[in-house]
Chain A
Amino acid sequence: MASRSARRQPYALTTPALIVIGVLFVFPSVYNVVLAFQKLSPYDTPGDATWVGFDNFKAIFSDPQIGSATLNTAFWLTALTVAIRLVLGLGLALLLQSQVLARWRLRGVGRTLVLVPWMLPPVVAVACWKSIFDANTGVLNQFLVSTHIVSKGVPFLAQTSTAWWSVIAIIVWRELPFVVIVMMAGLQSIPKEQYEAAAIDSAGRWQSFLHITLPNLRPVIVVVVLMTVIQTFNNFVYVWLSTGGGPGTYTQVLATQLYSAAFVANDLGQGAAIGIVMTATMAVFALIYLRVTGDREGRSA
């Protein structure tokens, strides 16, 4: 029979972790839910809050702006950028793993260069891209005008035909290295023997990619999709700093709506309610994702 102190040991060991989780995760989450049913300004103390029931949720669900912001968040901000990053990230990872680069001794340089955008803080990255996109002095416009592709500088971030594509360019550029690194790690873990066996069976490069590389990378791709979707869906910085949600409200996303409600209109309750809607959307996505991956793992077991 274990001694009393031995029986207590697991609790003693897990308590610090539970306290940290409670203070840093559980309490803020629960408080955010409470806040969503209150009216409180950023200048008040929590004790000054007044209960408003479901008013904050009613307000956001009756706001047409939230609908378009949700669509923008799901399609432009998340789906498109994640898809582009996946394709480009896999392509770059394959290139960096290729024998050609190794032969030319460019693999190390290539890997370092790919990491550069990730080293820049997002705020700095947006500032650089804003300068590149500037209609008068931006490098891109100077190039386009000097090569007579356009007669006058294009205000990329201010017109509806280019605003979202410009934001996407910034996000993909800054966030691509993460995908490349994870994909490279995945590629390195594929046993070489599989490629050798395929080569013996006269499989071409495309067939090897399709039947060896992609199936082996599937778990990595799934993790990358989950992480980048959650990270991007909640992102505020890129849109707010590059377009401010404009032109008009064309690039408004849920995170910028949340910020506007909480810190421009000084309504923390409504901001919290939008936050809950965002979390719920992500939770649905995560559950579907876990279900799909769980089924797959079950089948493969």
Chain B
Amino acid sequence: MKFTKSVVAAAVTSLVLPLAACSGSGSGSGSVNLVFRQFDPKGEVAGLTTAIDAWNKSHPKIHVEMQTLSPNNVQQFAREANSGSGPDIDQIGYADVAFLAKPKILLSLDDLMKKDPVPGGTDNLLAKDMVTFDGKTWAMPWTADTMALVYNPKALSAAGVKSPPTTWEQLAADAKQISSSSSGKTSGFCFAASGSATSSQWNAINYYIWAHGGTLVQKNPSGAWQPGIAQPQLANAIQYFADLFSSGASPKANQAVQDYSDPSIVNGLATGSCAMSYEPPATFAPLLKQAKAAGTTLTTAPMPSGLTDGATHLGGRALGINRNSKHPDEAWQVIKYLMSATTFKTYSQYPASKSTLTQLTVPESQQGFVKQLPHARSFARYIGSDMTVASIEQLVNQRFSAVYSGQSSSSDAAAAIISGLTKGLKG
């Protein structure tokens, strides 16, 4: 009997010990252990790892363990936090901060900011509207990105196109010219155009609509949400993208591509079979290396109408503190370090802090991002209704895709989107 009890005790201990080790916030020998979770692929965070290593070296009392959970799964963080666990510091996509702020899964940072302000203040931070809800700050804007036009100058000049397009209409004409003058060897404009929920055509569609003065959803003066675009205007936008395929400006193969980082687009740019596309900074950096190795020159420019305020999106990541963290003060210290110029010297992202951005040297090939960023506006313009941004994205991607594949006309697809938005926004 005694033996049985011992076995049971040993079994329970062996089960519980690893769980205790997973909790992350424990402290031993006077030092604090913090878990920092981020979701970018390992290949893109070597510089961040260097920055964290440097922190650990210079701060023996606050040890940071970087945890990579890719792709982004904010719902997992919510589940963990709701059950009393989770990492101390979480990297959060801007569009997700609202979901975590509403049920107070994150710790409000106002007291910490008051006690120990961010160098340079918070006034110079981009995307503040994405982290502030009900008058409280729930996360710190950390990195800023947008989609810039990535192009191959040689492919453009070979087709007689002297400079990258500055309007969407010009982009369609230039792309068609590139495709036809190369007899189809080089596609003018490549973009992920599948109908999946997360297809990257979402960015281009919004940029086009915003550049033409529309918006998919908006708040009316009485505070109610409604579609922000008329059906004919939306039908024109759909027809514009459908025409890219029918004119040969874009390859039909792109209709099966879900992401801007899909090998068919990235390799196409690197090997010269795609003349133009759009990419965020994190994808552009490794793409540039790949292109150099293949003997291709790539550079960036602002997207069409990208220098018009609000015609492109401001994305990026924020940093929040889990409400369950036992060491919020230490976590705040780490967040401040991650926001500093020291981190961005090795981490190849653009800081959301304008003052930090000015301290960095950005190569000529990436100036498209730098020029566009101050004009980009966040997706906060779509947040607050009963319809999630992801739902709007899915509806729009599906309906655009239905037109490309001949299932519906652009006017029918526009009507379906307006109807779906009207229904969804009512809750």
State the A residues within 8 Å of B (CB).
Answer: 41-45, 48, 133-137, 152-153, 155-160, 243-250, 260, 263-266
Q: Which of B115-123, B162-170, B296-304, B402-410 forms contacts with chain A?
A: B402-410
Chain B residues whose C-beta falls within 8 Å of the C-beta of A42 in the assembled complex: 75, 78-79
Contact call B253/A155, Cβ cutoff below 8 A: yes
Give min CB distance, B298 to chain A, whole Å: 18
Select B256's contact among A43, A152, A157, beta carbons within 8 Å.
A157
Contacts of A160 in B (CB 8 A): 405-407
With the chains together, A250 CA to B252 CA distance in Å? 17
B75 engages A247 (CB within 8 Å): no
Q: Is the CB of A246 within 8 A of B195?
A: yes
Asked whether B401 is an interface residue with its Cβ less than 8 Å from the other chain, the reply is yes
Our pick among A135, A153, A247 for the contact of B195 (Cβ within 8 Å) is A247
Once the chains are docked, how many angstroms separate the CA of A30 from the CA of B408? 41
Question: Do B264 and A134 touch across chains, with their CB atoms under 8 A apart?
Answer: yes
Which residue in chain A gives the minimum CB-CB distance to B391? A265
**B356 interface residue, CB < 8 Å from A?**
no
Let me know if A134 and B196 touch, CB within 8 A: no
Cβ B255 vs Cβ A247 within 8 A: yes
Is B258's CB within 8 Å of the partner chain A? yes
Q: A156: which B residues are within 8 A, CB to CB?
A: 256
Cβ–Cβ < 8 Å partners of B197 in chain A: 244-245, 260, 264
Does A245 lie within 8 Å of B268, measured CB to CB? Answer: no
A248's contact among B103, B268, B398, by CB below 8 Å, is which?
B398
A159 to B424, CA, bound (A): 28
**How many residues belonging to B are interface residues under a CB distance threshold of 8 Å?**
45
A268 CB → nearest B CB, Å: 10
Q: Is B128 an interface residue (CB 8 A)?
A: no
Do B388 and A265 have beta carbons less than 8 Å apart? Answer: yes
Contact of B176 with A by CB under 8 A: no
25 A/B residue pairs, CB under 8 Å, sorted by A? A42-B75, A42-B79, A43-B100, A134-B264, A136-B251, A155-B256, A158-B255, A159-B255, A243-B195, A245-B197, A246-B195, A246-B398, A246-B405, A247-B405, A247-B407, A248-B398, A248-B405, A249-B402, A250-B402, A264-B197, A264-B394, A265-B388, A265-B390, A266-B388, A266-B391
CB distance from B92 to the nearest CB of A (A): 12
Instruction: Give the residues in chain A near B51, CB-CB below 8 Å.
Output: none
B261 to chain A, nearest CB (A): 14
A48 / chain B contacts, CB cutoff of 8 Å: 103
Mask of B80-94 contacts with A, CB within 8 angstroms, 1/0:
001000000000000
Q: State how many angstroms separate the Cβ of B40 from the closest Cβ of chain A.
A: 20
A133: B residues at CB distance < 8 A: 256
Closest to B74 in A: A43
| B398 interface neighbour in A44, A137, A249, A263, Cβ under 8 Å | A249
Shortest beta-carbon distance from B410 to chain A in Å: 13
0/1 per residue, B169-185, Cβ < 8 Å to A? 00000000000000010
Task: Give the residue name and chain of the B residue nearest to A134 (CB).
Answer: B264
Check if B194 sits within 8 Å of A43, measured CB to CB. no
CB distance B194 to A135 under 8 Å?
no
Considering the chains assembled together, what is the distance between the CA atoms of A250 and B195 in angstroms?
A: 10
A270 to B81, CA, bound (A): 23
Smallest CB gap from A166: residue in B: B256
Q: A264–B391 contact, CB under 8 A?
A: yes
The smallest beta-carbon distance between B113 and chain A, in angstroms, is 24
Residue in A closest to B399 when the chains form the complex, CB atoms? A248
State in angstroms the CA–CA spacing of A263 and B74 once bound together. Answer: 11
Whether B199 is near chain A, meaning CB under 8 Å from some CB there, is yes
B387 contacts the other chain (CB 8 A): yes
Q: Taking the complex as formed, is B105 at the interface, i.e. its CB lies under 8 A from any CB of chain A?
A: yes
* Shortest Cβ gap from A266 to chain B (Å): 5
Please measure, in the bound complex, the distance between the C-alpha atom of A136 and the C-alpha atom of B257, giving whole angstroms. Answer: 11
Q: Which residues of B contact A266 (CB under 8 A)?
A: 99, 388, 390-391
A249 to B102, CA, bound (A): 32
Complex Cα gap A245–B267 (Å): 25
Q: Which of B390, B398, B402 has the most CB of A within 10 A?
A: B398
How many Å lie between the Cα of A157 and that of B253 in the bound state?
9
Given contacts A260-B394, A265-B387, contact A245 B253 (CB under 8 A): no
- The residues in B between 122 and 142 inclusive whose CB is less than 8 angstroms from any CB of A are none
Q: Are B404 and A247 in contact (CB under 8 A)?
A: yes
Cβ 8 A contact of B264, one of A41, A137, A260: A137
Which B residues between 297 and 315 are near A, CB-CB below 8 angstroms?
none
CB distance from A179 to the nearest CB of B (A): 29
B388 close to A44 (CB less than 8 A): no
**Chain B residues near A137 (CB, 8 Å)?**
263-264, 267
Distance, CA A123 to CA B105, complexed state (A): 31
- In the complex formed, the residue of B with least CB distance to A163 is B405
Contacts A134-B264, A246-B194, A264-B394 known; list 11 others, CB within 8 Å. A43-B99, A43-B100, A48-B103, A135-B253, A158-B252, A158-B256, A246-B196, A248-B399, A260-B394, A265-B387, A265-B390
For B195, list chain A residues within 8 Å (CB).
243-249
Give the residues from 396 to 425 in chain B that come closer than 8 angstroms, CB to CB, to chain A.
Answer: 397-399, 401-408, 424
Taking CB as reference atom, which chain A residue is nearest B403? A248
In the assembled complex, the CB of A259 is this many whole angstroms from the nearest CB of chain B, namely 9
List of B residues within 8 angstroms of A45 by Cβ = 82, 103
B75 touching A159, Cβ below 8 Å:
no
| Min distance, Cβ B149 to any Cβ of chain A, angstroms | 21
Q: Is the CB of A244 within 8 A of B405?
A: no
Identify the interface centre among A41, A45, A156, A264: most chain B CB within 10 Å of its CB: A264
CB contacts (< 8 Å) of B273 on chain A: these are 136
With A159-B255, A250-B405, A264-B394 known to touch, is A244 a contact of B388 (CB < 8 Å)?
no
Residues of B within 8 A of A248 (CB): 195, 398-399, 401-403, 405, 407-408
Hey, which chain B residues are within 8 Å of A250, CB to CB?
402, 405, 407
What is the distance, in angstroms, from A134's C-beta to the closest C-beta of chain B?
6
In the bound complex, what is the Cα–Cα distance between A50 and B402 (angstroms)? 36
The residue of chain B having its C-beta at the shortest distance from the C-beta of A249 within the complex is B398
Q: Are B253 and A159 touching (Cβ within 8 A)?
A: no
The CA of A264 and the CA of B397, in the complex, are separated in Å by 13
Query: When the two chains form the complex, which single residue of B196, B399, B406 contacts A245, counting CB atoms closer than 8 Å?
Result: B196
Which of chain B's residues has its CB closest to A265's CB?
B391
In the complex the two chains form, is B103's CB within 8 Å of A247's CB?
A: no
| Assembled-state Cα–Cα distance A265/B390 (Å) | 7
Residues of B within 8 A of A136 (CB): 251, 253, 264, 268, 273
A218 CB to nearest chain B CB (Å):
41
- Residues in B with CB closer than 8 Å to A264 are 197, 388, 390-391, 394
**Interchain CB contact (< 8 A) of B102 among A43, A152, A247, A263:** A43
